[in-house]
Structure 1
Amino acid sequence: MSTSTDELAERLDRLETRIAYQDEAIEALNQIITAQWGTIETLRRQVAEIGERLEDAAAALPPVDRPPPHY
C-alpha cells in the first residue's frame, strides 16, 4: 500500500512542477503578447497618419494634363 501512495505522491509532485512551469510560460507569453499589441497599435496609428499625409500631399498637387495613352 505504501508503494502505491509513494507512486501517487511522486506523480502529484511531477504534475505540480509541470503546472508551475506552464504557469510561468503562460505569464511570459502574456507579457510578450501585451507588448506586441502595444507595438501593433503604435504602427496602426503611424500608418493612418502616413495615409492622411499622402492624401493631403496628393490633394495639394496640381492636376496633370496628359494626353490619353492612345495618342
Structure 2
Amino acid sequence: MTDSPSPDSARLDELEMRVVHQDQTIEDLNAAITAQWQLIERLERRVERLAERVADAEQSAGQAAPVDRPPPHY
C-alpha cells in the first residue's frame, strides 16, 4: 500500500478547508455588518436630536426681538 492520499481524499480535504475559510469569512462579514448597523442607528438618533435642536432654535429665534446691529460692511 502507498502512503499517498487518494485523489478523492485530497479533494475532500481541499473542500473542507474551503468551507472552514468561508465560515470564517461569513463570521467576519457578519461582525462588520453588525457594527455598521449599530453605528448607523447611533447616527440616526444623533441626527434626530440635532434636527429637534435646530427646530427649537428656529422657533425661539422667531420669537426673539431682532437685534439692531450695523450692516456687515461697517
Alignment TM class, shorter chain as reference: 0.7 to 0.9
Q: Distance between the aligned counterparts of 2:34 and 2:57, measured in 1? A: 35
Identity of aligned residues (%): 43
1:9 equivalenced with 2:9 (yes/no): yes
Give the partner amino acid of 2:29. L
Give the partner amino acid of 2:10. E
Q: How does 1:22-37 map onto structure 2 within 5 Å?
A: 22-37=22-37
- List runs of 5+ in structure 1 lacking aligned partners: 65-71
What is the TM-score normalised by the length of structure 1?
0.78
What is the TM-score normalised by the length of structure 2?
0.75
Q: Distance between the aligned counterparts of 2:62 and 2:18, measured in 1? A: 67
The alignment of Structure 1 onto Structure 2 pairs a total of residues equal to 61
Give the partner amino acid of 1:43. L
Measured on the aligned residues, the alpha-carbon RMSD in Å equals 2.0
Deviation at 1:62, TM superposition (A): 2.5
Instruction: Indicate the structure with greater helix content.
Output: 1
Q: Distance between the aligned counterparts of 2:37 and 2:9, measured in 1? A: 42
Report the equivalent of 2:72. Answer: none
User: Which deviations, in whole Å up to 9, do the C-alpha atoms of 1:42-63 show, x marking residues without a partner?
Assistant: 0000000000000000011137
